[in-house]
């Protein structure tokens, strides 16, 4: 029966195929087979720890870079996207939102509930068409509780070309 080195056994039990494999370190008396030194096991699952989200210097040291302020705006070191959209998806979202906002009565101008601020836009793609769903989020206006929506079935759905042309509105009326 083959006896396994305790560190190899530990690593076999903790391995999860996670972020990068720890570097093997050769030890004496193992016939040249590399083993992982226990000091390399840093996570509870044997994986490597997640990178820190703290700003670091250009040399990846621990010194934070000063924030850049220009035109009265404090610019982030790295932009954290809400979602990644290609150019045509952005055109589709913009076209659908403009179509919706222009459909509201003029009397609602200036009312947050009928503004872009209160709208949540989702973009999907099927074939060559973008489908843009717009939901009203009154909690974004500051006077409604989070998740509050007086009309639970209110939404707009548009089919939009990659060039940003609204082709059709879903035939739904709440």
Give the global pTM. 0.56
In whole angstroms, what is the distance from residue 161 CA to residue 87 CA?
A: 12
- For the chain, residues with pLDDT lower than 70 are 1-62, 144-153, 173-174
In whole angstroms, what is the distance from residue 140 CA to residue 38 CA?
A: 50
Residues 144 and 111 sit within 8 Å (Cβ to Cβ): no
Average pLDDT of the chain, as a whole number: 73
Which residues pair with residue 156 across a beta bridge? 134
Residue 173 confidence (pLDDT): 60
In whole angstroms, what is the distance from residue 88 CA to residue 100 CA?
A: 18
Domain regions of the chain by residue span: 1-48, 87-169
Give just the sign of the alpha carbon dihedral 90, 95, 99, 102.
positive
DSSP structure string for 77-93: SS---S----HHHHHHH
Residue 164 confidence (pLDDT): 97
What are the DSSP E strand ranges found in the chain?
Answer: 25-26, 34-35, 68-70, 73-75, 119-126, 129-136, 155-160, 166-169
Alpha-helical runs (H) found in the chain: 6-14, 87-103
Question: Model confidence over 76-125: pLDDT tens digits?
Answer: 888 787 888 999 999 999 999 999 999 999 999 999 989 999 999 999 99
């Amino acid at each position: 029966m083959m006896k396994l080195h305790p560190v190899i056994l530990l690593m076999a039990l903790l391995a999860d195929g996670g972020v990068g494999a720890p570097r093997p370190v050769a030890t004496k008396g193992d016939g040249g087979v590399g083993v992982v030194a226990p000091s390399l096991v840093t996570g509870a699952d044997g994986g490597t720890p997640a990178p820190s989200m703290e700003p670091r210097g250009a040399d990846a040291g621990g010194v934070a870079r000063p924030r850049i302020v220009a035109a009265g705006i404090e610019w982030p070191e790295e932009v954290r996207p809400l979602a990644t959209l290609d150019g045509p998806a952005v055109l589709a979202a913009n076209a659908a939102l403009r179509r919706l906002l222009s459909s509201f009565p003029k009397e609602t101008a200036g009312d947050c509930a009928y503004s872009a601020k209160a709208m949540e836009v989702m973009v999907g793609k099927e074939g060559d068409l973008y489908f843009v769903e717009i939901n009203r989020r009154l909690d974004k206006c500051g006077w409604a509780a989070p998740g509050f929506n007086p009309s639970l079935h209110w939404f707009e759905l548009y089919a939009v070309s990659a060039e940003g042309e609204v082709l059709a509105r879903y035939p739904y009326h709440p």
